[in-house]
Amino acid sequence: MAAGSSSRLPRGAVERRLFVDAPPDVVWTALHDPGCPVWRDVRLHLDPAGPDWPAAGARRHARFRVGPVVLGTLVESLEARPARRFRVGIGGGAIVGERRWELTPAAGGTRVAGSVHLEGRSRVGRAFLRLGRGGIGPRLEAELAALKEKAEAAAGRATP
């Protein structure tokens, strides 16, 4: 798993990249499966998706949890380019941010770049993010590894 930062990302964003041995359309389908770990994150609990999800402009209510603290938020699809790019905005009274996934065809598979950028809008939001900041990179790595496993299994190319 490669770590790094793209110049296109906001300052403070966390990005991880990996190669998935499956075509971009299969990775896209796996990413939008409700059982995908990206949407079952232990800290971000999303309400069920409506029929328009993941189209740009679609919204979902969510709850952010760090320890016993829970903050209500809204997740909005900002960009949905099938098999290429997906961006969601995260907004609430205490935190704002963005999550991105970029899918690039490479060597018969897909290079996936996932990133997270969150900012506190209030004293509570900043404290909330400080509590969870150290876990963002490892959590993003775990989500991408699970996405890789799911997509490769769907493509019949599971790695040992």
DSSP H or E run through 72: strand 69-81
Residue 13 confidence (pLDDT): 86
Residue 158 confidence (pLDDT) above 90: no
Average pLDDT of the residues in 15-30: 95
**CA 18/CA 43 separation, integer angstroms:** 23
The domain made up of 14-154 is a member of CATH 3.20.20.150: no
Q: Retrieve residue 80's tokens.
A: 């949905």
- Stated pTM of the model: 0.84
Q: In this structure, is the dihedral angle defined by the CA atoms of residues 30, 33, 89 and 54, taken in order, positive or negative? A: positive
In the chain, DSSP finds a helix count (H) and a strand count (E) of: 3, 8
Q: Which residue ranges make up each domain of the chain?
A: 14-154
- The region of weakest confidence among 8-12, 28-32, 76-80, 85-89 is 8-12
Average pLDDT of the residues in 124-153: 83
Strand partners, 119: 96
Find how far residue 4's CA is from the centre of its chain: 16
